[in-house]
Structure 1
Amino acid sequence: MQNYLTIFINGNPFNCNSSMSLFDLLTYLEIEFDSTIVEYNHSIIDKDDFRLLYIKNNDSLEFMSVVGGG
């Protein structure tokens, strides 16, 4: 059985463990939850759902950082 899968993060292929949730992936990548918007297969994902959503092969993720300034 395959223990990893390939997903696409901001258009680039990335291999990850097949049992990772979105929360696990963000933690692994050290991405700050509070300042990042996550688009999963063309839908914005609420932060409350990060632990419930499990990554599947060929999923597409876009990470967008929220930047303050003026």
Structure 2
Amino acid sequence: MIHSNISIQINGEPFNCSKPISLQFLLNYLDFNSERVAVELNDILLPETLFHSTYLNDQDKLEVITIVGGG
């Protein structure tokens, strides 16, 4: 099966990959801790339980927000 490049936006910045990847793979690749982020995919907030099974498609828009604790 041949796949073309996938172009997505992450926090408004372009990101390209050569094959379909899961959201979890992308978060790991970008060094995000999946337990400390909130992710919105195409304006829909995703629960962490779907990160492994959600694959990114061409023209998807991601917003990744890091949750920081304070004291």
TM-score (norm 1): 0.89
Q: Which runs of 5+ in 2 are unaligned?
A: none
- Deviation >4 Å, runs of 4+: none
TM-score (norm 2): 0.88
Q: Which runs of 5+ in 1 are unaligned?
A: none
Alpha-carbon distance between aligned partners in 1 of 2:51 and 2:45, rounded to the nearest angstrom: 11
Equivalent pairs counted in the alignment come to 70
The percentage of counterpart residues that share the same residue type is 37
- Superposition pairs of residues 1-70 of structure 1, within 5 angstroms: 1-70=2-71
Q: What is the one-letter code of the residue matched to 1:6? A: S
Q: What is the one-letter code of the residue matched to 2:61? A: S
By how many angstroms is 1:39 displaced? 0.6
